[in-house]
Structure 1
Amino acid sequence: MRIFKTHQMKKSFLKLNICLILLSILLVSCKKNENITYDAIKDSLELNEDVEENLSLAELIASTNQLSLLTEALLATDLPTTLDSKYPITLFAPTNTAVMELFELLGDDYNSFEDFDSLLEQEILTRILTYHMVEGNLSSTDFVTGEMQTLYEGNTIEFIHTGDTFVISDASEIDAIPFVLDKKATDGTLHIIDKILIPQDVFEFLNTLNPPNTVEKTIKELIEENEEFAFLKKALVLTGLLDTLGEDGPFTIFAPSNNTLTGLLSALGIEFESLDDFNTEEEIDLLRDILLYHVVPGTLESKDFRIGPLVTLSDENSISIDENEDEYVLIDATTLSSEFLTTDIPAQNGIVHVIDRVLIPESLVNQVANSVSLAFERVMENAGELNTALEFFRLVQDRMNLEVLSEKEFTFFFPSDQAFVDLFNEIGYDKIQEFNNSEQGLEIVKIILSYHCVENQTLKSEDFRNGQVLNTFQGDELGILLETDIFVIDKTAKQSKLIYEDLEVLNGFIHVIDKVLLPQEVLDSL
């Protein structure tokens, strides 16, 4: 069985929807177990009297056995930094029992908060946890009937008093009952409650995605009703494909979310700033081809993924399923991989998987590469001192897989004209054309330029740090030295100074340097 991040491929979105909707029932699961008295539970939750009194909230939670799962949840979302903030926080802590009931409802794919590892799951968990926090150091005597703002901005909980006791109301029908009150920490106060609190928007969002006791929606309806697919919806309407996704099918769609689809525009070039710029029949056909490249006939669930090609509806162009670190990924015509954010959103006429980037068909590869090349040329021509670098860039651009730079972050160090003159003198070349006389010469140019490009980082001059190590597209590393100026250091320990900085292009920056950087691979061949 294929392993995905220590569990089976990205938990079924249906499970996620149903189970989180069931949080409103989990909620019911906190109906009192007739075999366990409240007093017994309360006694088991009392803090160890030997615990030091000067603990922080995070330490107080960690020292309470019945709150160990809350500690895991906080760590899974990096929220301990919130607890370490400058102002005091009042936290309503659900017990392990409440959390375990959540896991039971979620099913076998959820055994700990480490399984909340998709962007959607992380976001929902963060919203739920911050909904349990209130600014200020509040004792139980400070709570009055009415609403109180939580740290999840715009969302309130409600206190309802009955005599000397109170309950806490959220978006569900079941109120939370406090077990233990007024446990003081150095940075706030802890109150322990018997259920998880659910904010209104999370409750409504999940019910919108998959309302209980309703027939599954078509792919068209799912896209229409989910704001995360607003950009995709507009593109499908423009190309006349949205209605197609409402037909019988079945279809499997690999759906890019709003954030990833906007990257398509920059990849296509500066003439495309919005979908409104697709206004000719040829441009709309191009967009339609891109969208069809994301659709596969039939219903393909994640459990049925296998390494190999998938024929799409884009003139039988294929995408491929491959694996990366025990996860399945999609490979398009650029050979770039796309990861799954969420899988197995069920529909009446197929299934939807959400991916983290737009898939580029073969018909678009050259256009994307050309738009990247044009963007670089404009910036380099305007910069001056980069004429030689630009000639080298043009010489090997077909070898450099430039379409990668249309979507990835990068930082490019381009040597100045004088830097290349110095290199030519050093290695005995008279002019650029000598590199063009052989396959080996062209390969050397490609390797050198790839060594000047830092991958997956957009670094302005203010972002460099002394001793910083940078990974390049070529594979070797560069170092940063900060003195009065900024220096880049190559394999020869040569110090190349930044002489012109922060030229913005696409998703990255260009910096002009005064020496050519040489990787070990080139040093060995010269």
Structure 2
Amino acid sequence: MKALIRLSQITLVIFSFILVSCSDDDDGGSNNTEPTLNIVETAQDNTNLDSLVSALLQADESADNDLVSALIGEGPFTVFAPTNDAFADLLAQLDGFDSLDDFNTQELQNLLAVILQYHVIANTAAESTDLSDGQMLTTLQGASLTVSVQGTDIFIQDATEVDAEVVTPNVRATNGVVHVIDKVLLPQTILDELADIILVPITDLAIANENLQSLVAALQAANGDLPTVLRGDGPFTVLAPTDEAFTTFLNGAQLGDLDVEVLTNVLLNHVINGELSSTDLEGLGSGYANTLATGAGDENISIFFNTADGVEFNGVSEVVTPNVQALNGIVHVVNTVIDIPNIVDHAVANPNLTSLVGALTDGGNTTFTDLLSQDDEVFTVFAPVNDAFTAFTNPNSNDINAVLSNHVVVGAAAFSSGLTNSYVNTAAEFQMTDNLSLYINTDDGVTLNGSSNVAEADIVASNGVIHAVDAVIDLPTVVTFAVADPNFSTLVSALTDLTPSTDFVSILSSQNGTGDDPFTVFAPTNAAFDKLDDIPVEADLIPILQHHVVINNNIRSSILLEDGNTPATTLEGDEIIITRPGTDENIADVTDGSGNTGIGITTVDVQAINGVIHVLDTVLIPDTTN
């Protein structure tokens, strides 16, 4: 009932003047117009102070409070009036509070009244010119406020670490003066009362937690911007290692012994952009997020979470205290410091890659783990998932170590955003001399050698990137590349549908000396076939196709490095001549069996396990007269 009376007192006031804001006069912003509204009426007349008015009414719901009557009284008062945004910021800091209506018990209303009394100085109407740097003001609540004057700016210091700024000074009322501020002021008594529900920035939360003091020390020892970053807007998800976790991580060393940049990156590896609660993570089950740490290619490091048994990160660190809510995110306390993962670490952490790890380390083999743990090299790894290994039958009985090598690109971290239809070289080799090629097609997702699709892209490590794939990439033959590369679709049709009497696929698939391998194939593109008036009939087409194949020889461009002519006899029987340098943009020129010249080799050294392909811009024609 009392609140209704107070509301009536306010709403019955007939306003005759519009509130006059501060000016830039030499008197510090006061104006000489005689005020007609008291402090409460002044607040209600300013729409930017609607939340303050609501707070006054909400506090007066309790029989213990009578703030409205007090501020309508004779005064004089000095009032620091928080804006609507200031009250919104306060509510954002209080866990479980969405509006001022949540102050709905007598105890909470009394707390709200204490907060509001902390904004009132009784028995004085202090305008901005009356305020001085370092001045102490005793509030109606009983605690003190400190004034800070910096040039023409005035700040009010409360019990928190963030000062309030006076954004509109000297709004005069009949019973005092109002200074509009951008923050709700909080006394220490309120901080103590709300300790369990008030949300602070993540850095401050860590400082206040006695089990996270090593983390606080690490933040201070690392890049000086880190504490500021974790006080930022966020939201962040922070994995906070316990003091015991840091003791294990340091293994007798001191924080000062660590390289600052390394320590900074390790700490950033515990920070994820966005807010992920344990419920969010459990809903996802497992997967990857990116931390603020940087890895290969200056990309953000990936972190693997798995909720099969609790919440675990990178297979090494378990959440022991989840969902500690902060003002700018959420904190999960973890029992292990999460170091920056290399490619091997990522493979070991992901249960979907256990078959790959088993194959890499079978029989105590350390070749791959040693290679992929190097920090002075970068890699791209196409990692088959467990189901891919289950489905792989190794039809050509290839050495499994060679097959695994065919999933590794050395010397480049190829991220999905930079992939195009192109060939790259893998760590697998032809006759221990030349690296095999891998064809990447990005027309519809990312497909490798026409048979394996990227299911999970861009798992970023310190020394490279992993792309999880859905099929094991077997060692390619020259047929593999012809089928995989859409630029050879006409050639594939010519070798199969248009020449059914000759099994070119079987011939060109032989390997390990089981046929006429190795082959050197001069492969015409679709555009090369388009130059023909018509594709010849089968009887004429067969010798043309044979004229593009050199058997029992793997002729790479290295043989063609010297300027001059290199003759080669084709499967058809006629000789072709390769000439370096080529004309125009050609790497080399070819003279075919019919004497046609200027045929361009545009791409060289597409290396398969049973031969090599060089790409032509024109179809070769054999000598039809011999």
Does TM-score exceed 0.5, indicating one fold? no
Greater relative contact order (CA < 8 Å, ≥ 6 in sequence)? 1
TM-score normalised to structure 2 length? 0.34
For the pair shown, which has the larger CA radius of gyration, 1 or 2? 2
Going by fraction, where is helix more abundant, 1 or 2?
1
TM-score normalised to structure 1 length? 0.39
